[in-house]
Amino acid sequence: MKNNTSNFHNIRFKTLFSEEMISARVKELGLQIANDYVERNPIFVCILRGGIYFFSDLTKAVPIPIELDFMQAKSYVGTESSGNIELIKDLDSDISGRDVLIVEDIVDTGRTLKFLISHILSKKPKSLEVAALLFKEGGEAVGYPIKYIGWKIGKEFVIGYGLDYDGKFRNLPGVFLYSEE
Ligand code: IMP
């Protein structure tokens, strides 16, 4: 990464958060979370697919015993059923009476998260908190407090570190502003 841009398949993107910035922030969040969850054996839930890198780095930055699980939802934006969200991968663990932490890549309108929260709450966890690497302006519509946030950003579309545009760019090591060349 040079000159505040990334060269990826000959497309240059402006860097919003570099690999180094993300690594430092994730370590801070990890210590904060570890401090809050000492002796609680929480279950960290990765929201596929965008959450993979944040989840894998964050879970390694939490020096306490934790368990891992995975969920995936699909939303039908831009179709007749716009706004509908379907669960395509549910949790494998029994989370009733457990402390659960959702690990999400980004909260935009908050619709996906709202759906996931109500699904998880229906399973009666002891507690439920959310860690989101990025929180977009307007995400408050989720109506649930997001306890751990990497950064708040504006309404811009971002890619990398798990975030995609049309299925691509998830494997960029930092977070970049998406722009058509
Ligand atoms: P929400 O339901 O509007 O909060 O959208 C959440 C999902 O939309 C995220 O989990 C992402 O998969 C996707 N998303 C929202 N904003 C962006 C973005 O800027 N870049 C890539 N994906 C995004």
Place of tokens 């751990």: 148
* 128-to-9, 90, 98, 153 alpha-carbon distances in Å: 40, 16, 9, 24
As a whole number of Å, the end-to-end CA separation of the chain is: 18
> Is 57 designated active site?
no
Two tokens, residue 5? 């841009």
Please work out whether the CB of residue 110 comes within 6 Å of at least one atom of ligand 1: yes
* pLDDT of 11 above 70: no
Domain ranges of the chain: 19-72+87-152
Residue of higher predicted confidence among 26 and 143: 26
Local confidence band at 1 (pLDDT 50, 70, 90 cut-offs): very low
State which fold the 19-72+87-152 domain adopts: Rossmann fold (3.40.50)
75 close to 69: Cβ distance less than 8 angstroms: no
CA distance 34 to 65: 9
* pLDDT of 62 above 90: yes
* pLDDT of 79 above 60: no
For 120-133, what is each residue's pLDDT tens digit? 999 999 999 999 99
Residue bearing the CA closest to ligand 1, atom 20: 158
Please work out whether the CB of residue 76 comes within 6 Å of at least one atom of ligand 1: no
Q: What is the overall mean pLDDT for the chain?
A: 91
Task: Choose among 7, 21, 64, 45: nearest CA to 150.
Answer: 21
Q: What is the DSSP letter of 110?
A: S
**Sheet with strand 67-75: strands edge to edge:** 85-89, 67-75, 43-48, 99-107, 127-136, 148-153
CA distance 42 to 128: 10
Q: What is residue 65's predicted lDDT score, i.e. its pLDDT?
A: 97
Strand pairing class (99-107; 5-8) = unpaired
Pocket perturbation via mutation, ligand 1, pick of 54, 71, 142, 163 by most ligand atoms within 8 A of CB: 163
CA distance 132 to 145: 11
Residue bearing the CA closest to ligand 1, atom 16: 108
Q: What is residue 97's predicted lDDT score, i.e. its pLDDT?
A: 98
13 close to 173: Cβ distance less than 8 angstroms: no
Q: What is residue 80's predicted lDDT score, i.e. its pLDDT?
A: 46
Q: What is the pTM of this model?
A: 0.92
As a whole number of Å, the CA-based R_g of the chain is: 16
Please work out whether the CB of residue 106 comes within 6 Å of at least one atom of ligand 1: yes
Please work out whether the CB of residue 175 comes within 6 Å of at least one atom of ligand 1: no
Local confidence band at 117 (pLDDT 50, 70, 90 cut-offs): very high
